């Protein structure tokens, strides 16, 4: 059995350099950053240096970066605050967002009676920009919440176009960028998004830490109350080692972005070519089978396997040492179909198994050969 990890959209292996950075801080910089003595000041200095580093890569000011426990908290912080404190009465989103966004919006609708509109989707899962433009004509304060990279099918949002439409219509724009930060250059002076969420473990950093980008003077209010950490926007003693971990992971991701992205693109294209050659009846969900129209970090494949046999597919792949997902990691333990695929696939294709394979610098073409051969053997057995 050859262990192969193709579930990088769920989480990534931590870089060795990040582990070193984290352990050094845990060993030597254990002060509480709110303490006034030298141990506390040292910890506070590390946090602020990390904030400045992240801000530099996104071309924003350090004060616009708020550390959180991850992307889910960042999404909740933004969505709940804009309704509760900024007067948003209408949220425009899509039905293929991450559940951190969808479930939060559903709860806000129950609590505050806000209007929620879902943008029409094309057959491949892209949003209908004309429909978005028409939805923005409604009265009242509006927030548009759309993810940059879809975590299941890899479709890419035109951030410039959406931010332009929002600005032209005096609407706020929030984006869950968990699948794109660390994988794409993001100049937030060029892309006029108001709020953005990111998570370290998607780009070879530690779990349990992420950040929200909050445009200055937004008026956003805290979700968690207590101390005055994170400029009063996120109470709680800071996880200094994790914050330095996200800094190191993001620094390495962006300093090596061109070379590593090129390598991963080769892996993805090789995977696509092998699937087309060895399993010609397979199809690719969303835009994931086309590198020009989707992220380079994943593919989502619908396989020609009958339902009864399909039920054993993930189990068999696991027995062969292959880690992948039937959707997002949040969905993989569920017997229900992916909410994303339900929106874009026919009833016939929904009866077939769809598997997401997601890539990193630690994957090889040999990994691809092994996985495709296992899939082919399972299909023809």
CA nearest neighbour of 207 among 58, 12, 9, 7: 12
Average confidence score pLDDT of the chain: 95
Confidence of residue 335 (pLDDT cuts 50, 70, 90): low
Q: Does the structure show a pLDDT above 60 at 330?
A: no
Do strands 298-302 and 354-358 pair parallel, antiparallel, or not at all (unpaired)?
antiparallel
Radius of gyration of the chain (CA): 21
Interval 137-182: pLDDT, tens: 999 999 999 999 999 999 999 999 999 999 999 999 999 999 999 9
**Is residue 294 within 8 Å of residue 323, measured between CB atoms?**
no
The whole-number pLDDT of residue 381 equals 76
The whole-number pLDDT of residue 327 equals 55
Residue for token pair 């969505």? 79
Element (H, E) at 210: strand 210-214
Identify the structural domains of the chain with CATH numbers, from first to last. Answer: 4-12+257-380 (3.90.1150.10), 16-255 (3.40.640.10)
Confidence of residue 311 (pLDDT cuts 50, 70, 90): confident
Interval 266-305: pLDDT, tens: 999 999 999 999 999 999 999 999 999 999 999 999 999 9
Torsion on CA atoms 348, 10, 286, 303, rounded to nearest 10: -40
Interval 366-376: pLDDT, tens: 999 999 999 99
CB proximity list for 67: less than 8 A, separation 6 or greater: 47, 50, 51, 209, 210, 211, 230, 234, 238, 243, 246
Q: For residues 340 and 94, give the distance between their C-alpha atoms in angstroms, rounded to a whole number.
A: 10
Q: Which of the 8 DSSP states describes residue 356?
A: E
H and E: helices and strands count for the chain: 13, 12
CA nearest neighbour of 195 among 211, 206, 180: 211
Cβ atoms within 10 Å of 166's Cβ, excluding its own? 23
- Clarify whether 166 is annotated catalytic: no
Catalytic residue among 166, 302, 324, 330: 330
Q: For residues 289 and 300, give the distance between their C-alpha atoms in angstroms, rounded to a whole number.
A: 8
Q: Does the structure show a pLDDT above 50 at 332?
A: no
CA nearest neighbour of 265 among 299, 231, 237: 299
Least confident interval from 81-90, 166-175, 292-301, 346-355: 346-355
- In this prediction, residues 185-209 reach a mean pLDDT of 97
CA nearest neighbour of 340 among 79, 170, 150: 150
């Amino acid at each position: 059995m050859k262990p192969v990890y193709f579930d990088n959209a769920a989480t990534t292996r931590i870089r060795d350099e990040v582990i070193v950075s984290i352990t050094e801080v845990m060993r030597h910089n254990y002060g509480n950053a709110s303490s006034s003595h030298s141990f506390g000041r040292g910890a506070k200095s590390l946090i602020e240096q990390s904030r400045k580093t992240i801000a530099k890569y996104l071309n924003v000011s350090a004060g616009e970066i708020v550390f959180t426990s991850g992307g889910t908290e960042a999404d909740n912080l933004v969505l709940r605050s804009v309704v509760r404190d900024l007067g948003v009465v209408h949220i425009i989103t899509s039905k293929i967002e991450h559940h951190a966004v969808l479930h939060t919006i559903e709860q806000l609708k129950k609590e505050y009676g806000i209007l929620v509109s879902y943008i029409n989707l094309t057959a491949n899962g892209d949003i209908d920009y004309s429909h978005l433009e028409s939805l923005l004509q409604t009265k009242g304060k509006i927030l548009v919440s759309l993810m940059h990279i879809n975590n299941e099918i890899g479709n890419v949002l035109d951030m410039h176009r959406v931010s332009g439409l929002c600005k032209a219509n005096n609407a706020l724009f929030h984006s869950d960028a968990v699948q794109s930060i660390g994988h794409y250059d993001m100049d937030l002076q060029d892309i006029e998004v108001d709020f953005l969420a990111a998570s370290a473990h998607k780009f070879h950093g530690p779990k349990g830490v992420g950040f929200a980008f909050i445009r200055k003077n937004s008026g956003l209010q805290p979700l968690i109350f207590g101390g005055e950490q994170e400029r009063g926007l996120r109470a709680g003693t800071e996880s200094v080692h994790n914050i330095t971990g996200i800094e190191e992971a993001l620094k390495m991701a962006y300093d090596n972005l061109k070379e590593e992205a090129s390598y991963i693109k080769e892996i993805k294209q090789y995977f696509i070519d092998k699937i087309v050659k060895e399993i010609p009846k397979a199809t690719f969900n969303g835009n994931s089978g086309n590198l020009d129209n989707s992220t380079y970090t994943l593919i989502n494949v619908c396989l020609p396997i009958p339902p009864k046999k399909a039920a054993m597919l993930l189990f068999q792949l696991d027995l062969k040492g292959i880690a992948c997902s039937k959707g997002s990691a949040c969905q993989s333990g569920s017997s229900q179909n992916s909410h994303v695929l339900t929106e874009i696939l026919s009833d016939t294709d929904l009866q077939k198994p769809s598997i997401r394979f997601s890539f990193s610098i630690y994957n090889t073409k040999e990994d691809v050969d092994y996985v495709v051969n296992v899939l082919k053997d399972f299909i023809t057995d």
